[in-house]
Structure 1
């Protein structure tokens, strides 16, 4: 039985669940499928890059974690980092990786167990954006392996998923509806989530 777990989900609009008519997103669906005695906080903010997340992560987590509790952190960003604006990406890939490493190192120091969910694709941003996001996701996976942190890839799988792509194109071009978020939740649940959530953390 899962007990006394406090989880902060931090990241961008995909974490927030923008576009879902049921207002649950993938985070709500993962929590629903997990069950147990969980206290969860959705800290997703639209248009946030890794720069935004690393700036607010510690400040927002402090009042939501408890000494002696099983404190967790789920991080998901990158799709906004690789968006091109004014001829350059919003965040350089090396900087994105540095921001992730900072969050992982800080989590370890504060006895918070992290898990990273890779950046979903932004369908209407085109193939070049997809290539940049996939390359960043691959580098994030390597970084997480070096830190022995679970990483759940999503970019390639969702880019090839007709439910995700069709719902995104029917909406704002980036965010899916309830079916797409269900697909993303399924990827999380089918990968390393259940092992991570079932293992008590110090």
Structure 2
């Protein structure tokens, strides 16, 4: 099995002093005895919006296919979409973000098993409000496709250490403890555990 994590800087792990992020922590955990996982790739790119991911994801995934090894995709994006812009409230409108996500998930779901992790909160309350709305819209979209979706925004909003790291940093990216919190949420998620404990044969 091959797993690709596709998203933005929060997938990449920007600002983690341990240089692992939540994806790196997942990979360290699964490589402790998961013979069924042949390779895993972090395809998170800083400042990538859903529009950017729509353009690149399929080509990047296809370049990482390996024989008949089944492919699995984990998407997580949205923060760059709702980030403040100089001439508008956010870089993309809510409807633009949903349209991009629909196009991404429609195609991805035709090709491979897919799961999606929602966006985390930000230090700026208005930014977080936009992400909370987007999170709900993304969840509804995933439900249409039967794609498992993990909400993390509320858990992290209630985390004192997560917000301490946001405020002491750039307001967008947590530090090591914050990424470790996201790791724990994803690692306990039945949809994720199901891939590890009973991998599906074929893609």
Q: TM-score, normalised by structure 2?
A: 0.90
Q: Deviations over 1:43-96 (max 9, x none)?
A: 111111101111111121111123522101111100111122112321111221
1:193 and 2:192 correspond:
yes
Q: Deviations over 1:135-194 (max 9, x none)?
A: 100111111111111111111211221111111212222211111100000111122310
Which range is displaced more, 165-174 or 113-122?
165-174
1:54-133 pair list within 5 angstroms = 54-85=54-85, 86-110=87-111, 112-123=112-123, 126-133=124-131
Q: What is the rounded CA distance, in whole Å, between the counterparts of 1:165 and 1:31 in structure 2?
A: 25
Unaligned segments of structure 1, at least 5 residues: none
From 15, 22, 36, give the equivalent of 2:11: 15
Q: Deviations over 1:98-145 (max 9, x none)?
A: 2222222212332x111101011121xx21111110010011111111
Relative to structure 1, the CA distance from residue 180 to residue 106 in structure 2 (aligned partners, 3 Å threshold; closer, same or farther) is same
Which range is displaced more, 126-135 or 59-68?
59-68
Which range is displaced more, 83-92 or 147-156?
83-92
Give the corresponding residue for 1:45.
45
Which range is displaced more, 160-169 or 10-19?
160-169
**8 A contact 1:168–1:176 mirrored in 2:** yes
Q: What is the rounded CA distance, in whole Å, between the counterparts of 1:59 and 1:190 in structure 2?
A: 30
Q: What is the rounded CA distance, in whole Å, between the counterparts of 1:201 and 1:99 in structure 2?
A: 29
Number of residues of Structure 1 aligned to a counterpart in Structure 2: 195
**8 A contact 1:71–1:201 mirrored in 2:** no
Relative to structure 1, the CA distance from residue 142 to residue 201 in structure 2 (aligned partners, 3 Å threshold; closer, same or farther) is farther
From 139, 142, 167, give the equivalent of 2:140: 142
Which range is displaced more, 29-38 or 47-56?
29-38
Backbone CA RMSD of aligned residues: 1.4
**8 A contact 2:109–2:145 mirrored in 1:** no
Q: What is the rounded CA distance, in whole Å, between the counterparts of 1:98 and 1:114 in structure 2?
A: 18
Q: Kindly indicate which of the two structures has a greater share of residues assigned to strand.
A: 1
Relative to structure 1, the CA distance from residue 196 to residue 93 in structure 2 (aligned partners, 3 Å threshold; closer, same or farther) is farther
SS of aligned partner of 2:173: coil
